């Protein structure tokens, strides 16, 4: 199993540009999440999904959209990039009920917005 994969690994955007960060998992997990990590801030939840067709907002959703058309994929869209969105983005997945406690993280996408 590849686990959780993310593309791209690195990205530089100009202010105002849009892009999609890709996330896929091959573990048949129902639960998927997007976090951003900034220095000294820990991991903050952006959006999450409890299954195909179901998404919800986390702590810092503004400026981001998600969709979950399949169990495997959970892309994160930046609508109009801003320098405040410079961060490392992690996608994570978990299986079943009560297992939010064990999440599998992808390798991350390091995004810089200039």
Partner 1 sequence: GQSLEQPSEVTAVEGAIVQINCTYQTSGFYGLSWYQQHDGGAPTFLSYNALDGLEETGRFSSFLSRSDSYGYLLLQELQMKDSASYFCAVSPGNTPLVFGKGTRLSVIA
State the residues that interact with partner 1 by CB under 8 A.
Answer: 31, 33, 35, 40-45, 48, 56, 58-59, 90, 92, 94, 98, 100-108
Judged by CB, which is closer to partner 1: 71, or 103? 103
Full DSSP string of 44-106: EEEEEEEETTEEEE-SS-TTEEE--SSSSB--EEESS--GGG-EEEEEEEE-STT-TTS-EE-
Report in angstroms how near the CB of residue 67 gets to partner 1 at its nearest: 17
Report in angstroms how near the CB of residue 58 gets to partner 1 at its nearest: 7
Q: Are 30 and 97 in contact (CB under 8 A)?
A: no
Report in angstroms how near the CB of residue 38 gets to partner 1 at its nearest: 10
């Amino acid at each position: 199993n590849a686990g959780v994969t993310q593309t791209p690994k690195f990205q530089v955007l100009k202010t105002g540009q849009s892009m999609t960060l890709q996330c896929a998992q091959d573990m048949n997990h129902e639960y998927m999440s997007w976090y951003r990590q900034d220095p000294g801030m820990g991991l903050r939840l952006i959006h999450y999904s409890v299954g195909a067709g179901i998404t919800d907002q986390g702590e810092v959703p503004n400026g981001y959209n998600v969709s979950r058309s399949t169990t495997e994929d959970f892309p994160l869209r930046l609508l109009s990039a801003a320098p405040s969105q410079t961060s490392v983005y992690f996608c994570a997945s978990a299986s079943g009920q009560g297992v939010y406690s064990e999440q599998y993280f992808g390798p991350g996408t390091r995004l810089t917005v200039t």
